Structure formats: structure tokens, C-alpha cells
Amino acid sequence: AGSAGSATGSLPRRLEGVPDRQLSPAAAKIIQEIDEDLLENFDASEEKRKVLMRKYLMRWHPDKNAAEDKETATEVIQYLNSKKVWFLESAAYPETAPLLA
């Protein structure tokens, strides 16, 4: 029961919405940075959270990225879509650990 994300290259457990397949190193790094930014802003106003999420969704949309970056952009957009509802809820809460069944 070590700290989530403590192993080199591993992602925090709260990224459970990301597909099970192995992420590319580029996508993993980007997702880690976005995840930290979302957590830092989870208590911001709803309007600010919407603006931040929209910024990321527009930036990482696969159609807005070069062909060589489409795989990374797809992985990042899948993560963003998996976290959109959580982040935009009017009473967002931090996801620090997965729910136990």
C-alpha cells in the first residue's frame, strides 16, 4: 500500500478513467501535469473550472494536432473526457484514491 504514483513512470490511482492499455510516455507526462492542474483548481469557481477544462479539451483535441501527435492527443483527450463530469460538478471533490467495492 505505497504512495500512488511513487514508482517511476506510474500514474496516480485517480487516473482510473484512463484506458487500461499502456500510455505512451508523452501522454503519461502530459496527463500527470493536467491531473495536477485539475487538482489544484478543483475548488475554483464553476466558471473557472469550465474555462480550464475547455482550454485543455481544445488544446488536446486530436483533430487540432499534427498527424504525428494524434496518438498522444487521443490518449490525453480520453483522460480529459473521463474526468470532465467530476471536474465540472458544482461541488467538485478531489479524487485521492479509487472507491473500494
Q: What is the pLDDT of residues 23-58, one digit of tens each?
A: 899 999 999 999 999 999 988 999 999 999 999 999
Question: Is the whole-model pTM more than 0.85?
Answer: no
For residues 78-87, average pLDDT = 92
Query: Quick one: what percent of the chain has pLDDT higher than 70?
Result: 67
Burial of residue 82 (number of CB atoms within 10 Å: 0-12, 13-18, 19+): middle
